Homo-oligomer: A and B are copies of this chain.
Amino acid sequence: MKKQERQRYIKRLLSSNEIERQEDFVSLLRAENIEVTQATISRDIKDMQLVKVPSATGGYHYSMPVQKQMDTEKKLKRTLKDAYVSYATQDKFVLVKVLPGNGPALASLIEAMHYDEVFGTIGDDATVLIICKSLALTLDLQQKIQRLLSDN
């Protein structure tokens, strides 16, 4: 189906771009050969319950819905606590080792969080490599992970 596919694209765009207005979605989708109007995006956003968040830096950007994020974070926390083995950082990478079999689950949870810091993740059975958007953001992400681990 058309709409669903587009909404999948929208989700993916969320994590990889700083999207300030609905027209940004329109252009980014056009770049992927998907033609839509702002009206449709507005409806998609309502459907998906995305929100336009005032960011600390003074701008705005679209982001995943609150509830989903909280649910996902809970799962992420549990998975991390259950399966965590170790982690290491280098450059823009954070490498998390987990118990065998937990890699894919963890990776997809991290994807689902749509962290601003994260460019993408890739993993195997027992490892997740998180690629950040910048060095500074790598630090941020590291802290987030530590917090998830230590935090009640």
A interface, CB within 8 angstroms of B: 45-56, 58, 60, 63, 65-66, 69-70, 73-74, 77, 151-152
Number of copies of this protein chain within its complex: 2
Chain A contact residues: over half helix, strand or loop, or mixed?
mixed
Bound: A127/B10 CA distance, A:
45
CB proximity of A19 to chain B, nearest CB, Å: 14
Q: Are A49 and B45 in contact (CB under 8 A)?
A: no
Q: Are B54 and A52 in contact (CB under 8 A)?
A: no
Q: Are B63 and A54 in contact (CB under 8 A)?
A: no
| Contact among B48, B51, B58, B151 with A51 in the assembled complex (CB-CB below 8 Å) | B51
Nearest neighbor of A152 in chain B, beta-carbon distance: B152
Q: Are B77 and A152 in contact (CB under 8 A)?
A: yes
Seed contacts A48-B54, A51-B52, A51-B66; 17 additional CB < 8 Å A-B pairs = A46-B58, A49-B54, A49-B55, A49-B56, A51-B51, A52-B52, A53-B65, A54-B65, A66-B66, A66-B69, A66-B70, A70-B70, A70-B73, A74-B151, A77-B152, A151-B152, A152-B152
